[in-house]
Structure 1
Amino acid sequence: MSIHIVYEVKLLLYSFLTGAGLMMTYDLLRVFRIFIPHSYVFIGIEDMVFWIYASLTSFSLLYEQIDGGLRGYVIVGIFLGMFIYDKTISRFFLKFLKKFWKYLKMKMRILFRRKRRQ
């Protein structure tokens, strides 16, 4: 295989991983929202900061790997990485965290009730 083709395949892999990493970062933001609920204003600000971070991360991938040239398959690779991560790992991770948070709240309520009785 040509060195150029190998480089392009690696670039596509980097774009997948960048997309998955961005969704992982967004999952951390979702976890933060689960544990500390806040208003729509702060959620909007957090989303804006995340998307600025996502655009800078995507731009840095393009800039470092292909000197700022725009290649459609890299952008598609980032979105596919985000989509695949969201449909596979993210769903199960967030469901587990929500159940764990409900369980933790229930245990804390029981603990506080016992302390009040004493």
Structure 2
Amino acid sequence: MTYDLLRVFRIFVPHSYVFVGIEDMVFWVYASLTTFSLLYEQNDGGLRGYVIVGVFLGMFLYDRTISRFFLKFLKKFWKYLKMKIRIIFRRKKRQ
């Protein structure tokens, strides 16, 4: 879900490919360290294979279900919002 928030931010504020790459790298380093520390604390230092598989399976299922609909909705909402803003500015220019 956190990565979706980053993707939403990119919809609202366009970025160059360089900044997208930097943001992705920072996000994935943060996500991996957070996940590792959580697993380390919960399993008393032992990393279990089934837990790692569960994390990846959860990410995959989230991406294929909730994430797609969420991003489609936000993209449509953003287009609608931009259209409304343009209409408001056109009306103000006429006055």
Specify the TM-score bucket, using the shorter chain as the normaliser.
Answer: over 0.9
Secondary structure, counterpart of 1:32 in structure 2: helix
- 1:96, distance to aligned residue in structure 2 (A): 0.3
The 2-side partners of 1:54 and 1:68 are apart by 18
1:26 aligns with 2:3: yes
- 1:54, distance to aligned residue in structure 2 (A): 1.1
1:81 to 58, 65, 90: 58
Preserved contact between residue 34 and residue 98 of structure 1 (Cα < 8 Å)? yes
TM-score (norm 2): 0.95
Which segments of structure 1 move beyond 4 Å, counting only runs of 4 or more? none
- 1:67, distance to aligned residue in structure 2 (A): 2.4
For the aligned residue pairs, the C-alpha RMSD in angstroms reads: 0.8
1:41 aligns with 2:18: yes
- 1:114, distance to aligned residue in structure 2 (A): 0.6
- Give the structure 2 partner of residue 62 of structure 1: 39
Give ranges in structure 1 of 5+ residues lacking alignment: 1-23
The number of residue pairs the alignment matches comes to 95
Letter in 1 for 2:75: K
- 1:58, distance to aligned residue in structure 2 (A): 1.5
- Give the structure 2 partner of residue 71 of structure 1: 48
Identity among equivalent positions (%) equals: 88
Secondary structure, counterpart of 1:68 in structure 2: coil
